[in-house]
Amino acid sequence: MQIRLLQGDITRQAVNAIVNAANTSLLGGGGVDGAIHRAGGPAILAACREIRSRQGGCPVGEAVFTTGGDLPCQYVIHTVGPRWKDGKSGEDELLASCYRNALLLAEKIGAKQVAFPNISTGIYGFPKERAAAIAIRTVNAHAGHLPETVIFVCFDADNYTIYQHLLS
Instruction: Pick the closest to residue 99 from 116, 75, 84 (CA basis).
Output: 116
Per-residue contact string for residues 108-147; x = within reach of ligand ADP by CB under 6 A:
---------xxxxxxxx-----------------------
Instruction: State the number of CA atoms in the 13 A half-sphere of 13 facing the CB.
Output: 30
By CB under 6 A, which span of 8-16, 67-75, 143-151, 160-168 interacts with ligand ADP?
8-16
Three-state DSSP class for residue 7: strand
Cis peptide before 82 (omega within 30 of 0): no
For ligand ADP (CB under 6 A), the number of binding residues is: 21
62 touches ligand ADP (CB under 6 A): no
Does 148 contact ligand ADP by CB under 6 A?
A: no
Active site residue 158: no
Does residue 9 bind ligand ADP (CB under 6 A)? yes
Q: What is the DSSP string of 61-78?
A: T-EEEEE-TTSSSSEEEE
Nearer to ligand ADP, 21 or 77 (CB): 21
Looking at beta carbons only, is 68 or 81 nearer to ligand ADP? 81
**By CB under 6 A, is residue 159 in contact with ligand ADP?**
yes
Residues 117 and 128: beta-carbon distance below 8 Å: no
Of the residues 33, 70, 92, 158, only one is catalytic, namely 33
Q: At its nearest, how many Å lie between ligand ADP and the CB of residue 113? A: 16
Of 38 and 137, nearer to ligand ADP (C-beta) is 38
CB-based burial label for 81 (10 Å; 0-12, 13-18, 19+): buried
Q: For residue 86, what is the DSSP state?
A: S
Q: List helix spans (H) across 7-90.
A: 31-40, 42-55
Residues marked as catalytic: 33
**Could you list the residues that contact ligand ADP (CB under 6 A)?**
9-11, 21, 31-33, 35, 81, 117-124, 153, 155-156, 159
